[in-house]
Each structure stands twice: as structure tokens, then as C-alpha cells.
């Protein structure tokens, strides 16, 4: 059996304030290769470059990565505000229809952080730009020094920070073999209203939505708010998630006609 190929969506960055690039974090690529057992293939979040039909002729699954940019609020009927920038309209234009197409075709799709939020928006849900400002919510953003700078130690930034309660008997509880897990937290934006086909499978201690699946999806279609790509090689929870993604990829690959 050939090795599955996973399309990993890229994000727009500007280098030296002059050069626009499309890039994907290396930890995403290693998680796909080392834990899911697939070949990662980075594709641009540019609608004029990435044709969804052609992309899905090449890949067996999709990983929707995290990103600094928020999903543009006009996708769920809210006016944009400079305080909630940056946005990445190009990635929105690729990711949202891509998610719907993957679910329709049964193409395995895993959403992480922004990707999780995109899955909700793709099915009619809304987001809040700063979950921490809602009554009773904790600060889900990455740890900072007293000076306000982001903490320099990745082990501190990506450390497990809160619990997630999973739906008993749900997909995630079955996947992890438990009903409570601990995860990292590095996000400002989060789900406000779930979309029509969004099934909530896990919530944080403050009721922030952390794990979802797409109802009646014919294939693997899961999303998590935490950064599962950081340490699936050593973290049992994140390893189980990427391993399950890999198993879904291999099942999808084995059912396809040979490419040639």
C-alpha cells in the first residue's frame, strides 16, 4: 500500500516587510509524517493558486493548521475591527469551501486551532474574537512574561494548561480511552455559536468548546482547539488523535483506485 498524502494548508506571512510567503509550521509536517504515517504536502492558502478539485485529486486527507490570523468575521455576519487583526481572507477563501467539499466526499480532515474554528464557520457557526472577555472564561492565550512579551520557552508556552471534559461514549472519549484530558492553550478567538452540523464533543473547565466533529460526515472530520501538533510523538492524547487520522487516511487510500 502506498503512503497516504496529506495536504497541509499554508498561511500568508511577510518576510522583511517585503516578501509574501506561504508557510506551514514544521511541527505540523512532522506530526503528519511521524505519527499519522503520511507524506505532508504543503499547499497555498491562495484561491487563485489552489484549485480544490485538483488538490483533492492529489491528496488523501487535509490538515487545517493553526495560524495567527483570525477568520474574517464577515463570514459569520460581524463587522471587522482593527483590534482583532490580522485576518487572512485568502486562506478563508480556500479553507471554508475545502472543508465542505472534504466532508461531502468523505476525505479525512483534521482541524487544529484556526482549522477547528474554520470547520465551525464552514457549517454556519460563529466565533468570538476574544473568548477571555466573556463572563466566566479564562485567558486561553499563550503565557507571557510580566513585561508582556510572549514567554521565550516553548515548553512553557505549549504546556498543558487546562482540562477538557469529553462527552461520555463520544468519538473523542472512545479515541482517548477517557472522559477527561489536559491540553495546551494558545488562542484568543474561539467558537461562540456552533454551526448546524457541529457536534460538541469536549469543553474546557470554563465551557469553552475544545473538541468537535461534523455530524453525519462519511469520513474522519474532527477538530480540536488546542495545538495537538506540538508533541504527538510523546503526548499520549495528541498521539492518539494523529494516529486515528493516519488510520482514516489508510482506509481512504485502500479504497481508492490506483493512481498512475
| Residue positions annotated with a catalytic role | 113, 227, 229
**Where on the phi/psi map is residue 165: left (φ > 0), alpha (ψ -120 to 50), or beta?**
beta
* Residues whose CB falls within 8 Å of the CB of residue 51, separated by 6 or more in sequence, listed in order: none
SS (H, E, C) 79-137: CCCHHHCCECHHHHHHHHHHHHHHHHHCCCEEEECHHHHHHHHHCCCEEECCHHHCCCC
89 in Cβ contact with 75 (< 8 Å): no
Calpha distance 143→183 (Å, rounded): 14
The C-alpha atoms of residue 191 and residue 108 are separated, in whole angstroms, by 22
Q: What is the 3-state secondary structure (H, E, C) of 194-223?
A: CCCCEEEEEEECCCCEEEEEECCCCCCEEE
Name residues whose C-beta falls within 8 Å of residue 11's C-beta, 6 or more positions apart in sequence: 22, 23, 24, 45, 65, 67, 68, 69, 88, 91
Nearest to 203 by CA among 225, 188, 220, 222: 225
Question: What's the alpha-carbon Rg for the chain, to the nearest Å?
Answer: 17
Amino acid at each position: 500500500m502506498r503512503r497516504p498524502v496529506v495536504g497541509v494548508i499554508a498561511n500568508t506571512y511577510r518576510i522583511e516587510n517585503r516578501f509574501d510567503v506561504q508557510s506551514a509550521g514544521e511541527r505540523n509536517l512532522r506530526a503528519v509524517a511521524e505519527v499519522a504515517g503520511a507524506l505532508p504536502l504543503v499547499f497555498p492558502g491562495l484561491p487563485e493558486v489552489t484549485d480544490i478539485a485538483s488538490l483533492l485529486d492529489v491528496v488523501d486527507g487535509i490538515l487545517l493548521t493553526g495560524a495567527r490570523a483570525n477568520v474574517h468575521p464577515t463570514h459569520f455576519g460581524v463587522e471587522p475591527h482593527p483590534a482583532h487583526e490580522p485576518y487572512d481572507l485568502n486562506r478563508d477563501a480556500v479553507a471554508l469551501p475545502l472543508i465542505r467539499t472534504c466532508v461531502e466526499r468523505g476525505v479525512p480532515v483534521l482541524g487544529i486551532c484556526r482549522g477547528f474554528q474554520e470547520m465551525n464557520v464552514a457549517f454556519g457557526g460563529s466565533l468570538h474574537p476574544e473568548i477571555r472577555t466573556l463572563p466566566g472564561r479564562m485567558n486561553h492565550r499563550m503565557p507571557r512574561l510580566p513585561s508582556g512579551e510572549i514567554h521565550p520557552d516553548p515548553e512553557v508556552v505549549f504546556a498543558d494548561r487546562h482540562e477538557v471534559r469529553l462527552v461520555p461514549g463520544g468519538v473523542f472519549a472512545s479515541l482517548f480511552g477517557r472522559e477527561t484530558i489536559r491540553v495546551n492553550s494558545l488562542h484568543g478567538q474561539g467558537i461562540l455559536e456552533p454551526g448546524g452540523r457541529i457536534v460538541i464533543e469536549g469543553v474546557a473547565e470554563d465551557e469553552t468548546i475544545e473538541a468537535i466533529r461534523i455530524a453525519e460526515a462519511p469520513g474522519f472530520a474532527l477538530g480540536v482547539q488546542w495545538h495537538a501538533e506540538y508533541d504527538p510523538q510523546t503526548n499520549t492524547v495528541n498521539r492518539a488523535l494523529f494516529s486515528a487520522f493516519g488510520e482514516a487516511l489508510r482506509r481512504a487510500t485502500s479504497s481508492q483506485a490506483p493512481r498512475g
